[in-house]
Amino acid sequence: AAALTGLSTSGIAFADEAATQAAIDAFAAGAEVGEGRISLTAPEIAENGNTVPISVDVESEMTEADHVAAVMILASGNPNPGVITFNFTPMNGVAAATTRIRLAKTQDVIAVAKMSDGSVFMDKKLVKVTIGGCGG
Amino acid sequence: MATKPRVKVPKKAAAGDVITIKTLISHAMESGQRKGKDGNLIPRKIINKFTAEFNGATVFSADIEPGVAANPFIEFNVKVMESGTFDFKWLDDDGSEYTSSKEIAVE
């Protein structure tokens, strides 16, 4: 992590707001990003950034006509903001998923849900990281 | 090295139940951001895609980037209406494919 810590001050090694916004814009495909419906659960403090549990939950009937198509997770302060995209189908019954992610430093974790009708909803949580998860 | 994946699926359920599936595969998830002892970046090598099929139809998938922790764990749900087989597949950057299958009896 030492090498990356050195670079972080230059702003080169870590994703910036622009990269995060670009990823959200690409995912939203022109739709306005709303609030509500999606709920991101993440710890307030992560002692070890190498493995941080996160869950997403989206309100949806999960029918063929009206379901959650995908949820994208972004880590705005990682070298690359993209973390994972969950692709749902009506067969999931509920739109929820859990995984474990890496966080290089204290930052906002962002979850963006895209519905089958194209509408988009976002939630974010600030996670304070004690030990960065950037390897090395 | 990835080893045999571990998957938890209930052995039986009632029709219409929403079951929880937990999956984990042992994998270093080398991010491509880390430097080795020689000072050079260690090339990226991660599991980049996970897919779950039920009776041949994709029910859930995930596009994975280096921001996912080592030994990627993914938990999700499926509403089961009939008995059948789940097939899980993990794709490695090096082209390797790891698979696991589980049966469920639905009454």
pLDDT tens per residue across all 107 residues of chain B: 557 899 999 999 999 999 999 999 999 999 998 888 999 999 999 999 999 999 999 999 999 999 999 999 999 999 999 999 999 999 999 999 999 999 999 99
Is A11 a residue whose pLDDT tops 50? Answer: no
Q: Centre a 10 Å sphere on the Cβ of residue B81 and count the other Cβ atoms it contains.
A: 14
Q: How far is A35 from chain B (nearest CA, A)?
A: 23
CATH number where B13 lies: 2.60.40.10
In this predicted structure, what is the pLDDT of residue B75?
98
> Do the domain assignments include residue B89?
yes
Helical segments of A9-136, H only: 17-28
CB nearest A84 (choices: B31, B68, B78): B68
Helical segments of B26-97, H only: none
Report B:6-35 residues touching A (Cβ under 8 A).
18, 31, 33-35
In this predicted structure, what is the pLDDT of residue B1?
52
In this predicted structure, what is the pLDDT of residue A17?
84
The number of domains in chain B is 1
Give the burial string for B4-32 (b: 16+ CB within 10 Å, else e): ebebebeeebeeebebebebebebebbbe
> Do the domain assignments include residue B1?
no
Q: How far is A95 from chain B (nearest CA, A)?
A: 8
Q: Which contiguous run of DSSP H or E holds residue B84?
A: strand B84-92
> Do the domain assignments include residue B80?
yes
In this predicted structure, what is the pLDDT of residue A30?
95
Find tokens 């080592």 and name the residue: B70
Pairs across A and B, CB distance < 8 A: 101
Q: B16 Cβ partners below 8 Å, 6+ apart?
A: B79, B80, B81
Q: Is B83 an 8 Å CB contact of chain A?
A: no
Domain with B15, as residue range(s), is 6-33+42-106
Chain A residue with minimal CA distance to B35? A136
Is A14 a residue whose pLDDT tops 80? Answer: no
CB nearest A84 (choices: B60, B65, B79): B65
In this predicted structure, what is the pLDDT of residue B2?
56
